[in-house]
Amino acid sequence: MTTRATCVRALLIFALALALRAWAAAGDFWLDEIWSWMAVRDRVHNVGDVFFAIHHEANHIINSLWIHALGLDVDWRWYRLPAVLAGSLSVLVARQLLAGAGAVAQSLVTVLFVPSFLLVNYASEARGYGVMMLCALASLWLLEVHDEARRETRSRVQGFALAGFWLATMLGTLAHASYGATLAALALWSAWRLAREDGEVKTRVLRFVVLFGPPLAVAVWLWVINFLHVTVGGGPVMSAWQAAAAVCSLALGGPAEGPWVWPLAALAMLALGLEIVLLWRAREARALLWVAMLVVPALPLAAGVHNQFIYPRFFLGGALFLLVALASLGARGWRLGGARRLLVAGVAALITFGNLAGLAQLMRDGRGHPGAAVRWMAEHSRNPVIRVASDHAFRHGMTLDYYSRLLHAGQRFELLVNPPWPATGPEWILRQDASRDWQPAPALHDADGRAYRLEALYPHAGLSGFTLALYHRRDDSPAP
């Protein structure tokens, strides 16, 4: 391959990844993104407030800084730009991580990354996960470049790689706290590798301090000033082990819930275990890295730290390296030829089919359509004061607050929370559910006997968002 052909291929892959993530980013702003936006609106007056004034899980620091920089009145799609760009670039870094494994491995990791429903979903919303993905992969790549340059005494390359590694690790920590698992795994892996090298102990300790001193110092600083004080907003209940299994299933193009989750998670772990054994036999250093990537998040879970508000996205860094390892394993099978090539091609096709099915739902349903619901109420309300009752005043209250910009002149929302209500009662009732399969009742009555019909149902694709049911009071509904 010429340099020009290599660059053209990289640009085409990036363009495809970018197109999918930009398309997925075109949907409505959803609750968690609105929560981040409101935290900036209500508490941030300068850059320092992002670090010191918002102690909530919705504060993904780089994302909050970006919202603050853009201002509060831009189209919400612009808030998603860093995630879209970083998530698209992560595909190229994943390919670079497998440059030494050959063209087949790079092609397989491209197939696993580009259309991944899991990766596209989180790289197309205004939160920290898209940037975190890029930083997790880049930190490993730059660490390996640095170590190789040190062994070959290429001091200039070593210096650039070190600076890049520091930048990637610090930005990863600022993107989302879950990057800490990647940083800890890289630190353990590097410590093990340095311990096996020849030379004075003092020299090896100094190398480790130079590599990880600044990133760990930033991580500790953020932990003290921010992460230690973070409160969790709540959400659907899921155990940590369920979340870990779900992210493994999603990595293979499977579902996030249902009977297939645990079998697919077991298959993913078996494949990763096989790759670790093969790497170990070949005396390749990544064997211990993949072990560290498993052990670091698994230790607190095995110790009984089961926070009910842990979700698959918190294990996103591990999913990235799982896909890299699976691509490497697939390339090994491909090189053996024969039936193994059919197996590799069949597995890749099944994973791609599952991802494309998830992507089709994401492009169609997004993270729900709260903006569409507000537009519908604006067009069909009987009075300028639009009275709304709901099954979750906090969630719907934030959403209606944000999307009130879509109302016509003279209109405003009045969210009814606790009785007594006005004599006419609410005109609309909003109900929501995180399950994709939720089937709301076609009609309902409020406590005073007023009848409501299901006027619109706005589904979501899963992972992020809610299915929203919109009920309208019947014209013939009697007064209480």
- Please spell the DSSP secondary structure of 210-250, one letter per residue: HHHHHHHHHHHHHHHHTGGG-B----S-B-HHHHHHHHHHH
Task: Look at the chain and count its residues.
Answer: 480
- Asked whether 368 and 458 are in contact (CB, 8 A), the reply is yes
Look at the block and give the residue holding tokens 């941030």: 44
How many CB atoms neighbour CB 66 within 10 A?
A: 22
Amino acid at 365: D
Measured distance between the N- and C-terminal CA atoms of the chain, rounded to whole angstroms? 78
**Assigned token pair, 271:** 């494949």
Burial of 36: CB neighbours in 10 Å, binned 0-12, 13-18, 19+? buried
Interval 195-217 mean pLDDT: 92
What mean pLDDT is reported for the chain?
92
- Asked whether 330 and 105 are in contact (CB, 8 A), the reply is yes
Interval 16-26 mean pLDDT: 97
How many CB atoms neighbour CB 476 within 10 A?
A: 6
Look at the block and give the residue holding tokens 């006419």: 424
Amino acid at 439: Q
**Is the pLDDT assigned to residue 478 strictly greater than 60?**
no
- Asked whether 162 and 146 are in contact (CB, 8 A), the reply is yes
Long-range contacts of 433-442 (CB under 8 A, 24+ apart): 433/466, 433/467, 433/469, 434/235, 434/236, 434/465, 434/466, 434/467, 435/467, 436/361, 436/460, 436/461, 436/462, 436/467, 438/467, 440/469
200-to-146, 162, 203, 379 alpha-carbon distances in Å: 20, 21, 5, 75
pLDDT in tens, 303-357: 665 555 688 898 999 999 999 999 999 999 999 999 999 999 999 999 999 999 9
Nearest in space to 135 (alpha carbons), one of 85, 99, 98: 85
pLDDT-based confidence at 480, cuts 50/70/90? very low
Taking only Cα atoms into account, the Rg of the chain, rounded to an integer number of angstroms, comes to 25
Interval 384-393 mean pLDDT: 92
**Assigned token pair, 45:** 């007056």
pLDDT-based confidence at 424, cuts 50/70/90? confident
Interval 397-421 mean pLDDT: 91
Q: Would you give the DSSP letter of residue 260?
A: T
Amino acid at 470: L
pTM for the model stands at 0.93
Q: What is the DSSP string of 242-308?
A: HHHHHHHHHHTT--SSSTTHHHHHHHHHHHHHHHHHHHHHTT-THHHHHHHHHHHHHHHHHTT---T
pLDDT-based confidence at 479, cuts 50/70/90? very low
Look at the block and give the residue holding tokens 């969630």: 395
- Asked whether 407 and 382 are in contact (CB, 8 A), the reply is no
Interval 375-394 mean pLDDT: 93
CA distance 242 to 471: 33
Q: Would you give the DSSP letter of residue 100?
A: G
**Is the pLDDT assigned to residue 387 strictly greater than 60?**
yes
- Asked whether 32 and 464 are in contact (CB, 8 A), the reply is yes
Look at the block and give the residue holding tokens 């070190």: 162
Interval 28-41 mean pLDDT: 95
Look at the block and give the residue holding tokens 């170590």: 147
pLDDT-based confidence at 1, cuts 50/70/90? very low
